[in-house]
């Protein structure tokens, strides 16, 4: 999220500081307008309105703003390039630990204020999208003593909320990293063992959700949903404990404002069966499932038509789900070729350079490059696959593409996929109609 500053609306009430914040108060002080004191386009009495997006009657058409407040080496390899040989820096944790707080703050502040701008929000809206999903780490809202992470993201996130308001976009705030790491992935902030659910990590995560919800409870005309935690790795966690956390997280977010929808990730369990009875009776509850077909040898070995048919098969399954459900991450990629997608210094399954994989095809033009430089065959396959996924995922609540922009991964770069004609404009136009019929 990017700076706040000049786009702040006139305020008649200042949000109170979150009472239990442990860090410096200025980190959590919010100078947002409280919409309950003002009139806006959603309701003449905003304090009495429900969630400011009709998740029953409208489709979510969104994009993730990845690599902004939570670093991922494959999205912005230039940030990590100086350690490409030593590989002592592989995630945001080791980045900040290696640089130290002063240098890390300087570099990251520059990144936060330039990676995404008002122009991006405007372009997203112009493309016909109506939502952005913004990943944020716990360390931005509830830093833990001893961690090397740096703060300052929230000033930029504040500005992003106003940019979204100006562009007419809704925002889902996504807690992308939890203390101890909920999945061991670099995109949790810390690559390595899964240590969430140990010690105080769950209660610390709830504190992060409380601080985040309280900060933006006066901006629910824009921030319509908060995601409790991105991709907890169910196979490495106590799933009963995950459900308890979700229940407590729901209450935490709703205590800040009843105008938030509450999103929870499926923890890599079957979204159509495992979560059917969860949250029965809870209002405004949304499942988030992530659908990629590239992170196993079998998946990257699929033909383009098999990728399409697999995506289409998800449509009826989504449609039958008894809660709101978004495909919160998906891609145009049919390969895992993008540089460092599998981790800094790691190769790809598709070309056999990843451990215990075998050659399926070449990564030429897909390891690094631009959409314009993709082969005509790759372009056609991506367009076909994207259309199939749109047709499938809109059979229920909708979707968020991953991600708006990258430095050099063309299959994942929505901004350039749109410009290159590989992502439909308008969104319901089709070059490959009827694939999911």
Q: Give the catalytic positions in this structure.
A: 231, 329
Q: Are 182 and 232 in contact (CB under 8 A)?
A: yes
Tell me the DSSP string of 68-109: SSS--TTT-HHHHGGGTTT----SHHHHHHHH-HHHHHHHHH
Q: 92-99 vs 101-112: helix axis angle to the nearest 10?
A: 130
- Taking the C-alpha atoms of residue 244 and residue 365, their distance in angstroms, rounded to an integer, is 45
H/E segment holding residue 154? helix 153-167
Cβ neighbours of 340 (radius 10 Å): 24
H/E segment holding residue 400? strand 398-401
For CA atoms 269, 188, 16, 4, the dihedral sign is negative
Return the SS3 of 261.
strand
- Taking the C-alpha atoms of residue 68 and residue 51, their distance in angstroms, rounded to an integer, is 26
3-state SS string for 278-332: CCCCCCCEEEEEECCCCCCHHHHCCCHHHHHHHHHHHHHHHHCCCCEEEEEECCC
Report the DSSP beta bridge partners of residue 399. Answer: 61, 327
Cβ neighbours of 54 (radius 10 Å): 9
- Taking the C-alpha atoms of residue 114 and residue 123, their distance in angstroms, rounded to an integer, is 15
The number of residues making up the chain comes to 437
């Amino acid at each position: 999220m990017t700076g706040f500053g000049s786009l702040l609306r006139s305020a008649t009430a200042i949000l109170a500081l979150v009472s239990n914040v442990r860090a410096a108060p200025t980190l959590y002080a919010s100078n947002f307008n409280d919409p309950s004191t003002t009139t806006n386009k959603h309701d003449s009495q905003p304090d009495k309105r429900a969630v400011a997006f009709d998740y029953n009657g409208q489709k979510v058409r969104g994009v993730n703003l990845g690599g902004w407040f939570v670093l991922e080496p494959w999205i912005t390899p230039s940030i990590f390039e100086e350690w490409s040989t030593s590989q002592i820096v592989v995630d945001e944790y080791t980045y900040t630990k290696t640089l130290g707080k002063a240098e890390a703050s300087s570099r990251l502040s520059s990144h936060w204020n330039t990676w995404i701008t008002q122009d991006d929000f405007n372009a997203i809206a112009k493309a016909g999208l109506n939502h952005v999903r913004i990943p944020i780490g716990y360390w931005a809202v509830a830093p833990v003593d001893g961690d090397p992470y740096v703060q300052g993201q929230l000033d930029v996130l504040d500005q992003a909320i106003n940019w979204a308001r100006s562009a007419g976009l809704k925002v889902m705030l996504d807690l992308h990293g939890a203390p101890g790491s909920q999945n061991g992935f670099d995109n949790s902030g810390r690559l390595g063992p899964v240590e969430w659910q140990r010690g105080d990590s769950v209660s610390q995560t709830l504190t992060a959700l409380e601080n985040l919800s309280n900060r933006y409870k006066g901006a629910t005309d824009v921030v319509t949903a908060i995601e409790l935690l991105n991709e907890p790795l169910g196979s490495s966690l106590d799933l009963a404990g995950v459900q308890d956390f979700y229940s407590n997280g729901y209450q935490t977010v709703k205590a800040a404002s009843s105008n938030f929808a509450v999103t929870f990730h499926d923890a890599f369990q079957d979204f159509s069966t495992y979560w059917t009875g969860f949250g029965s009776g809870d209002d405004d509850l949304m499942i988030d499932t992530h659908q990629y077909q590239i992170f196993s040898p079998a998946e990257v070995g699929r033909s383009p038509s098999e990728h399409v048919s697999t995506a289409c098969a998800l449509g009826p399954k989504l449609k039958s789900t008894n809660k709101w459900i978004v495909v919160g991450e998906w891609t145009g990629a049919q390969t895992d070729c993008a540089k460092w997608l599998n981790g800094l210094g790691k190769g790809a399954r598709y070309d056999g350079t990843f451990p215990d994989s075998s050659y399926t095809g070449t990564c030429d033009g897909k390891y690094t490059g631009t959409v314009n430089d993709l082969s005509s065959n790759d372009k056609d396959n991506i367009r076909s696959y994207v259309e199939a996924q749109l047709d499938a995922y809109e059979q229920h609540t909708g979707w968020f593409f991953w991600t708006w922009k990258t430095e050099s991964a063309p299959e994942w770069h929505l901004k350039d996929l749109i410009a290159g004609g590989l992502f439909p404009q308008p969104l319901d136009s089709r070059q490959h109609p009827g694939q999911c019929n």
